[in-house]
Amino acid sequence: MNMPDAQSLASWMNPSQWQSWMSNPDALAGVPMPGAALLRDAGATVKPEVLDTLKNEYMAEFGALWQQLLEGKTPEIRDRRFSAPAWTANPVTAFSAAAYLLNAKFLLAMADAVEAAPQQRQKIRFALQQVVDAMSPANFLATNPEAQQALIESKGESLTRGLKNMLADMQKGQISLSDDKAFEVGRNLATTEGDIVLETPLFQLIQYRPRTETVRQRPLLMVPPCINKYYILDLQPSNSLVRYAVEQGNTVFLVSWRNPDASLAKTSWDDYTEQGVIRAIRAVQDISGEDTLNLLGFCVGGTLLSTALAVLAARGEQPAASLTLLTTFLDFSDTGVLSVFVDEPQVQLREQALAQGGLMPGRDLASTFSSLRPNDLVWNYVQSNYLKGNEPAAFDLLYWNSDSTNLPGPMFCWYLRNTYLENRLKEPGRLTVAGEKVDLATIDAPAFIYGSREDHIVPWTSAYGSMNILNPARRDANRFVLGASGHIAGVINPPSKNKRSYWVNDDRPENPDAWMADAVEHPGSWWPLWAAFLAEHGGEDVPARTQAGNADYPPVEPAPGRYVKEKAD
């Protein structure tokens, strides 16, 4: 099935086309349904009766919109892209925005009505959404009244600044989402005090300094995603999950993954499991003198951590006193919108290029994730930075979002095929990692599983799926918490901000919708619930150690270490 043709859609999104209809009202009767030819060109079909219903609804709404314009009325626009007064100050400008939204609405409705397999229909809708978002009148100087107003008021300076911003971003190879000069890792990001106590070619291990006189007997080891840098968990003191865990009386260790270069181009998933996670667990055991640890994995870090624990279980070891998984896939049955990027031809293409060695560039990964929210992470900044000539504001989370990391090709290809494409990880014994058959059900540890309600990367229902995989013989040991917001903002929600909310339900049904039906919403942060879970499994209180590491693991350098500062090539 071919992807939709952007040029044919662009003709529908062109304001000059609407102006021709305005000058010739009789032409409205012959207006075709937007997207019909587009979907036909893509090899997609819609049932005639559905198409007729959509067409009739479209013609009625378009006629009503046109009538409003002829009567000099300003249409109601409920879209934040057009919320500024400049859009409704002029009836023609307001009509331009309203007509665009109307065309977009029915084009996407047609995509949803396509007769195709669910994944193919999702691909068509995703491709159409990308083009629809790109063709917004807010994205062009000629059709954006806010940008035009700024141009006039600044006597052309806004356009000069916008061109300067655009040229600077072209040299960087990415759109600036935040003021790059406002932040520096180690100066005002990732500032929780600690020391590097282990350095390997793959990662550095940070041991954070205690902030309480006594600590829990069992330390906490955090495994962040290797797709991004760890300091999402340690942004600034006010929103640092690391600092919060330390202040709650935990001895905290954290894996800081290296940003891969050519020397790691042949690194595999087995290496990340054995030489990464398991190596870190061994080090924390040796330094703390504890056989069992509280363990936390975030996103793919949680997938890696769970894989490592299953490998150790196959060797007769159970190092987890508890396991926390934040927005983590173990069951990849529903990967949400990311599934549009993963099918057999696309995976084979990656394997041919990277499976034997090479790097998946961080910028390519960043572009993929930005395409999931193009209005928020692309076009919003095109409008502000380029059309209006504004400088991006200082925002720590978006600075982190732009700090890309590469991935080793073999590891990336294994991950794509065995999880996203074939969903083998959840099947006992289906995969062999580090020489061991993987069975996640053999991990003997109570689990705290967190999902975010608006997560577009790990749908919360998929995160809930871990409840049915871990501890099958004693599901009552597991607990699921659902937070508001998305993949990152839902996780980084400190109690001090008193924002958002979370849902809990002491029952543990297999179906996530059944869980949600009886869940109770609470205002604020879920972090205190997690802190209580750690305390429950942390053992007795013991005096805090003032020295990092030990004789076998002497401090190498202060946190955050140099690995996290390395930039993707």
**Residue 127 and residue 266 in one domain:** no
Cα dihedral value 114, 117, 123, 127, nearest 10: -10
Residue 293 lies in a domain: yes
Instruction: For strands 293-298 and 252-257, give the pairing.
Output: unpaired
Clarify whether residues 492 and 418 are in a common domain. yes
pTM value?
A: 0.90
Q: Is residue 328 part of a domain?
A: yes
Residue 376 included in any domain: no
Give the contacts of 308 (CB within 8 A, at least 6 positions apart): 273, 274, 276, 277, 278, 281
What are 404's two structure tokens? 């890309």
* 135 & 237 share domain: no
* Nearest-angstrom CA–CA distance, 334 and 339: 8
Q: Could you tell me if residue 216 is inside a domain?
A: yes
Q: How far apart are the first and last CA of the chain?
A: 35
User: Is 183 a member of any domain?
Assistant: no
What range defines the domain where residue 282 resides? Answer: 194-361+404-565
User: Hey, what are 77's tokens?
Assistant: 């626009």
Q: Are residues 251 and 323 in the same domain?
A: yes
**Which residue in 110, 114, 190, 299 is the catalytic one?**
299
Burial class of residue 521, CB neighbours in 10 A (0-12, 13-18, 19+): exposed
- Distance, in Å, from the CA atom of 189 to the CA atom of 242, rounded to the nearest integer, reads 12
Amino acid sitting at position 268: S
Please check whether residues 119 and 220 belong to one and the same domain.
no
299 classed as catalytic: yes
Structural domain includes residue 230: yes
Cα–Cα distance between 302 and 306 in angstroms, integer?
Answer: 6
CATH of the domain at 550: 3.40.50.1820
How large is the C-alpha radius of gyration of the chain? 26
Q: Which of 495, 484, 421 is CA-nearest to residue 453?
A: 484
Q: Hey, what are 413's tokens?
A: 């290809």
Tokens of 7: 């040029």
From start to end of 287-382, where are the E strands? Answer: 293-298, 320-326, 359-360
Nearest to 33 by CA among 60, 54, 3, 8: 54
Instruction: Note down pLDDT in tens along the chain; length 569 residues.
Output: 333 344 444 444 444 444 443 344 344 344 444 455 555 555 567 888 888 898 889 889 989 998 988 888 889 899 999 999 999 998 889 999 999 999 999 989 988 888 888 888 888 889 889 989 999 999 999 999 999 999 999 999 999 999 999 999 998 888 999 998 999 999 999 999 999 999 999 999 999 999 999 999 999 999 999 999 999 999 999 999 999 999 999 999 999 999 999 999 999 999 999 999 999 999 999 999 999 999 999 999 999 999 999 999 999 999 999 999 999 999 999 999 899 999 999 999 999 999 999 999 998 888 888 888 999 999 999 999 999 999 999 999 999 999 999 999 999 999 999 999 999 999 999 999 999 999 999 999 999 999 999 999 999 999 999 999 999 888 889 999 999 999 999 999 999 989 999 999 999 999 999 999 999 999 999 999 999 999 999 999 999 998 999 999 999 999 999 999 999 87
